[in-house]
Amino acid sequence: MKKVVAFKILSVLALILATTSCKKSSSSKNSSRATGWQINSREGGFQYNTNFQEQETSPGLVFVEGGTFTKGRVQDDVMHDWNNSPNQQHVQSFYMDETEVTNAMYMEYLDWIKRVYPPSDDNFRAIYNGALPDTLVWRNRLGFNEVMTENYLRHPGYGEYPVVGVSWIQAVEFANWRSDRVNEYNLERAGYLKRDSKITDVNAESNFNTDTYINAPTLTYGGNEEIINNERRSRRNVRVDAEGNESNIYATRETGIISPKYRLPTETEWEYAALGLSEIRSYNLYRGRKKYPWDGQYTRAGKRKVRGDQLANFKQGKGDYGGIAGWSDDGADITNKVKSYDPNDHGLYDMAGNVAEWVADVYRPIIDDGFNDFNYYRGNVYTKNALNEDGTVKVVTPQDIIYDTLPNGKLIARDLPGEIVQVPVDENETYLRTNFDKSDEINFRDGDKRSSRYFESFNDNDDNEFEDGSDNKKSATGKMYNSPKHKVSRDSSGNVIREYDKANTRTSLINDEVRVYKGGSWKDREYWLDPAQRRYFPQDMATDYIGFRCAMSRVGSKSKERGKRKN
C-alpha cells in the first residue's frame, strides 16, 4: 500500500515538473532575447511565428540539398563551339519539380485564365491567346504530324506528357500564376481567406496576387472585405489591444505561411540537380565523374532485371526515334509519359531526354566564375513596386493592362489585373553600392563591347560608325553580340507590320532575349543528354522539343536532416 501511495506522489510531482518545464520553455520561446518583452502577446506588440520548424514542400516539388560541384564539365565537344568550360560552383539548397510540367498541369492554367479573363471579351482576348502553347510546332514540311497538332495539348491520352510549344516567356508566366494559386490555397487553409473564394469569387477585378497581399492586403480581391477579412479568421491569429484595436489580421512573411515563389531553375541549379552527384559521393569527395543523370557511361540499363533497356527517351540514330516495333528501345517515338524511366538520385524524372528544358539564364558563351562562384546566374533585372502619389502601391486594374508586342508579332500582357506595377530600381537603391549599380545587369562582364577595354560610351552606336560615317575600328573589336534586330509595329488599324533586319553585317544570333535550355530531348542524339551541355533559343519562340519544370528557393537550413551525421 505504501509503495502505491509513494508511486502516486512521484507521478504527481513528475507531472508538475513537466508542466512547469513546458511553461518555462514556452515562456522562453516567446520572450525576446533582445528586449525581454513577450512575443505574440494577446495584447499586441511584436508578432512572430516562434513555432516554425521547416519550409513545407510545395505541390509537385522535391528537395535538392545544395553543395559544391564542377559545372560545365562536358565529355566531348562535337559541335566545336566550346561554349562551356569547367568551373567550381556552389548551389544553395532548393526545390525542383519532380517531373516536367505536363499538358494536364498547363491545361489547368489555361482553364483558370479562361474563367477569369474570358477570351470572348475583347479586353482580355490577348491574355488567353498569349498563354496558349503553339501547337503548330509539330508541323513538318515533309512529315505527317497533324495528329499531334490537333491532339497533343488537349487529348487526355497525352495528359501526363510534358507540355511543349511553350516559349520561355510563357513558362515564366505559368510559374508566376502557380505561385499565386499555391499561396492563395495556403492562406485559405490557414483561415486568412474565405473558403473556396479562389473559385467562387474570382474574376478580372477580384483575384489574388502574392506580392499585392504582402504589400497591400486590403487591395487583394479588389478590396473585397468579405474575402480577406472574413469570419473564418482564427482567434489564434488576431490580437486585440487594451483599446480594442485588432492586429495580425493579415498573414505576413513572419507567419511562415506564404511560401517563396515558383520560378524557372537557374542553369547552375538545373545542371546540379540533373547530375545527382550524391550517388557517387564518398565522405567529402565525389569518387569519379558522371556523364548522365544516372551512374555509368552508357545509356542502357546494366541491372539484370532490365538489362539493355534505355534509361531515357532520345533519338538513337538516323530514322530511329524509338526502336523496332514490338521490341522498342525506349518505348517512345515522340515524347513519353512522365515517370516512364527511373528517377535520378535526387528523385527527379527525365532530367535527360523526353524534352529539353528552359532555364532562367540569358545565354552567353562564357561563364564568369572568376567574379562569382555562388548561386551563379546571368539575367538579373532588379525592379521595385511603383507608387501612387499618395505613397500607396500601384495595382493594375482591368483598364490598365499593357500589352507588349513580341518580335514574332504576338501580344502578351506585361502585368495582369491585381498585380503591382513594377518599375526599374534607380539611384535610391543603387547609390554608393558595390554589389550592383543599375537595374539591368544582364550584360555585366559578359564579353560584349561594354566589357571591352576599347569601349567608349560616346562611340556607342549600332552600326560601328562615327557620326561622320567613318568606321569605328577601335570599338568594333568588342562588339560581339550584334544579332539581327527585326522590328514589329502596328498601324492605326491594329495590323501587324513586320520589318526584317536585312543587314549583311550581323555576325551573331546572341542578344539579351536568348535563353539557355538544357538536357536532351526525344529529337536529340545521345550527345545532348549530358547535363553540362548547353544551347540557346529566343525567349519568345517555342519548339516541339523544349518544355520546362519549375523550381523554388529553400529558406532556412541547408539540410532537412539537421544534426544527423552524413556517414
Residue 255's nearest CA partner among 279, 276, 278, 239 is 239
* pLDDT of 234 strictly over 60: no
Higher pLDDT pick, 538 / 481 = 538
Give me the residue label for grid cell 545544395. 66
Query: 9: pLDDT confidence band, cut at 50, 70 and 90?
Result: low
Cell numbers at 102, concatenated? 505536363
**Torsional class of 362: left (φ above 0), alpha (ψ -120 to 50), beta (otherwise):** beta
Cα 29 to Cα 47: distance, rounded to the nearest angstrom: 13
- Looking at residue 30, its pLDDT comes to 83
Task: Compute CA distances 510 → 377, 480, 481, whole Å.
Answer: 17, 8, 5
Residue 513's nearest CA partner among 485, 476, 492 is 485
Q: Say if residues 544 and 164 touch (Cβ distance below 8 Å).
A: yes
**Domains (range + CATH), the chain:** 53-190+251-379+514-562 (3.90.1580.10)
- Strand-pairing partners, residue 70, are 88
Cα 518 to Cα 501: distance, rounded to the nearest angstrom: 29
C-alpha torsion angle, residues 55, 56, 60, 64 (rounded to 10): 40
List pLDDT tens digits, range 65-108.
Answer: 999 999 998 877 777 777 778 899 999 999 999 999 999 999 99
Cα 123 to Cα 399: distance, rounded to the nearest angstrom: 8
Cα 122 to Cα 345: distance, rounded to the nearest angstrom: 49
Q: Say if residues 87 and 369 touch (Cβ distance below 8 Å).
A: yes
Burial class (CB in 10 A: 0-12, 13-18, 19+), 440: middle
Burial class (CB in 10 A: 0-12, 13-18, 19+), 61: buried
Give me the mean pLDDT over the 40-56 stretch: 85
Query: 4: pLDDT confidence band, cut at 50, 70 and 90?
Result: low
* pLDDT of 529 strictly over 90: yes
List pLDDT tens digits, range 256-306.
Answer: 999 999 999 999 999 999 998 877 777 777 777 788 898 878 888 777 767
Residue 172's nearest CA partner among 408, 412, 436 is 412
* pLDDT of 122 strictly over 80: yes
